[in-house]
A and B are shown apart, each in its own frame.
Chain A
Amino acid sequence: MKKYWRCFVCNDIHYGLAPPDICPTCKVKNAYIEISSHEAENVTFLNTEMDKDTFTRAIEAFTENNDFQVNPDKEKVGMLLEGIFNNEKNHGLKYCPCRLIAKERDEDLKLICPCNFLIHETYKEKEDGECWCGLFVRRK
């Protein structure tokens, strides 16, 4: 079962079966302790809110070394970002605007953008694959 882990040096939060050996943020070794979801939420909310431009730069950087990219259709991306940020404001997390939360935590975590779309039938083994909402498309 996945758990929350916090680096006691820099408060980096990790969600997984085990913590990383080295903190990717502060590079300290064996610095993670297990914490509650409540604490993880509180620590996360201490962070500065991310605006659309910052988020866009982050997902562009995320795609750089991958076989997918942010959709070049700016209008579509603009609409999706509007939905993602509205969902964060109204429902707490950056949920995909093209799906709906089931109100089951584990299932709903799968809907946070960017999701693991590599396993989706709309992307996997498709030459012109894209994530369900179309924010990410296979790089040509």
Chain B
Amino acid sequence: MESVGADFLYGENNMNKLIMFHGRECPHCKKMQLLVDRLEKETGITIDRREVWHDEKNADLMRTKRDLISAKCGGQLRVPTFLNSETDDVMCGEFEYEKLKEWAIKS
């Protein structure tokens, strides 16, 4: 299996610094995707969406940030998780649109 490390995360590969880790069959993720759609439309900000249960590269990428994410997400890797890969700002679960926008804009 190909491992994914910091180079992949921070390298010059046109990767967006704002990442949403999500699961295809996760209802919370489905709800938050709608808010991300709205955010992208209203602000022009884009979020790199990474599905983790059906794409092992994305799963490995999320696991490289396990310490950071689990500290904010009940000690586990939970989805949806929103990560700013530059500031390491993490939020997880379902929350209001304004909170998502605040997270995205302050980045």
Contacts and interface: CB of A to CB of B under 8 A. Distances in A.
Q: Do A and B bind each other?
A: yes
Interface of A: 76, 79-80, 82-84, 86-87, 90-91, 97-103, 107, 110-111, 120-122, 132-134
A98 to B, nearest CB: 4
A122 to B, nearest CB: 8
B11 interface: no
Given A86-B53, A98-B23, A100-B59, A134 B79 contact: no
24 contacts: A76-B27, A79-B25, A80-B25, A82-B25, A83-B23, A83-B24, A84-B25, A86-B53, A90-B54, A97-B24, A99-B76, A99-B77, A99-B78, A100-B21, A100-B52, A100-B53, A101-B77, A102-B76, A103-B63, A122-B74, A133-B26, A133-B27, A134-B27, A134-B28
A86 B63 contact: no
A97 B25 contact: yes
A98 B62 contact: no
Interface of B: 21, 23-30, 52-54, 59, 62-63, 66, 74, 76-79
B80 to A, nearest CB: 8
Contacts, number: 68
A23 B78 CA distance: 36
A121 to B, nearest CB: 6
Given A97-B23, A110-B76, 11 more contacts: A79-B26, A83-B24, A86-B24, A98-B79, A99-B77, A100-B52, A100-B77, A103-B63, A132-B74, A132-B78, A133-B27
A102 B28 contact: no
A98 B63 contact: no
A90 B52 CA distance: 12
Contacts of B24: 83, 86, 97
Contacts of A134: 27-28
A11 to B, nearest CB: 31
A124 to B, nearest CB: 11
Contacts of A103: 63
A80 B53 CA distance: 13
A102 B25 contact: no
Nearest to A115: B76
Contacts of B52: 100
A102 B30 contact: no
A100 B29 contact: no
